[in-house]
Amino acid sequence: MALLEIENLSVTFATSGGEFRAVDEVSLVCDRGEILSIVGESGSGKSVSMLALMGLLPWTATVTADTMRFDGRDILSMSDRQRREIIGRDIAMIFQEPMSSLNPCFTVGFQIGETLRVHLGMGRAERRERSIELLKLVGIPAPEKRLSQFPHQLSGGMSQRVMIAMALACNPKLLIADEPTTALDVTIQAQILDLLIGLQKKNDMGLILITHDMGVVAETAERVQVQYAGQKVEEQRVRELFDDPHHPYTQALLSALPERATRHGRLPSIPGVVPGQGDRPAGCLFSPRCRFATDLCRQTVERQGPEFGYALCNYPLKEGVPTGHPGVPELESAR
């Protein structure tokens, strides 16, 4: 049994303009010692699905799922109190903006120690000792001094290290990192990623890395799940995904990477934007932006099997060629 199993998770928000489905029947599995990456543009429901798991969504959100199991326990049937016992202890999360994610009114020591006191009931001296140990673990020099500092005295990279230390306080089984490097300088990004992966290996944690950066995925993940407009469109091992993407969206994301742009001139981009509340098309949600879309795609879309990475596509790509597509030759010549 996997550490985390989520089947057909949906999240809808009640808004003034009616219901908005931010996550649409997403399934996900992550095991101990595994790095799963969730990729997609802004608005693809990556963060929302993880916040739903943590129970951190506002009350306007309705969460439904067929299964949501963590470590063999059913999260859906838990009371808020029972869920709070797991959250912060067995499942921990770090966020995109480390500077604003730390409370400006409390010292670093207080904020790390709080988790230790609430979940493990540690005394003052014990908390201090463990906090110093954690700060050392995340590579913060002079940890004794840092404990009494406030967040505004730390840099962005330092803050994210403190966030990681806080998340690791109770040796969680699963760590969710929601775009942990997006707000940081490029040089710091690599350091933080290395740190996360090192700690993941050392503690044998499951790590779910949410990102929109394919470069980060290539460097870190083992398995990748691509999300688009709240739906999972493809899932593959990272090597295979980069070698042979099955969904046109994945292909488009990959070809937008500067490293992979073989031809000279402008970088390719995906025209249009992710559909929002008002403009969700029928059939395949990617059809308005897809260069392979046919009339069939605008009416319905089918999920493929494991040989095509569970791609949510009527004409899944194989070596860049859409399987079963009616107009393949024209497309080839058009390129």
Partner 1 sequence: MLRFFLYRVALLIPTFIGVSIVAFAFIRLLPGDPIMLLAGERGMSAERYQELQAVYGFDRPYLVQYFDYAWGILQGDFGQSIVTKRPVLEEFFTLFPATIELSLCAIILAVGIGIPAGVLAAVKRGSWLDQTIMGAALTGYSMPIFWWGLLLIIFFSGTLGWTPVSGRISLLYYFEPVTGFMLIDSLLSGQAGAFKSAVSHLILPTVVLATIPLAVIARQTRSAMLEVLGEDYVRTARSKGLAPRRVIGLHALRNALIPVVTTIGLQVGVLLAGAILTETIFSWPGIGKWMVDSVFKRDYAVVQGGLLLIASLIMIVNLLVDVLYGLINPRIRK
Residues that bind partner 1 (CB under 8 A): 54, 56, 83-89, 92-93, 95, 97, 100-106, 114-115, 118-119, 150, 152, 163, 166
| Closer to partner 1 by Cβ: residue 99 or 257 | 99
Smallest distance from partner 1 to CB 23, Å: 18
Question: Where do we find the tokens 């399934």?
Answer: 27
Smallest distance from partner 1 to CB 265, Å: 40
Smallest distance from partner 1 to CB 84, Å: 4
Smallest distance from partner 1 to CB 48, Å: 13
Cα–Cα distance for residue pair 276/269, rounded to 1 Å = 19
| Closer to partner 1 by Cβ: residue 35 or 93 | 93
| Closer to partner 1 by Cβ: residue 159 or 287 | 159
| Closer to partner 1 by Cβ: residue 75 or 254 | 75
Smallest distance from partner 1 to CB 159, Å: 11
| Closer to partner 1 by Cβ: residue 88 or 316 | 88
Q: Nearest-CA neighbor of 98 among 145, 25, 146, 165?
A: 165
Smallest distance from partner 1 to CB 148, Å: 11
Smallest distance from partner 1 to CB 273, Å: 25
| Closer to partner 1 by Cβ: residue 103 or 299 | 103
| Closer to partner 1 by Cβ: residue 163 or 217 | 163
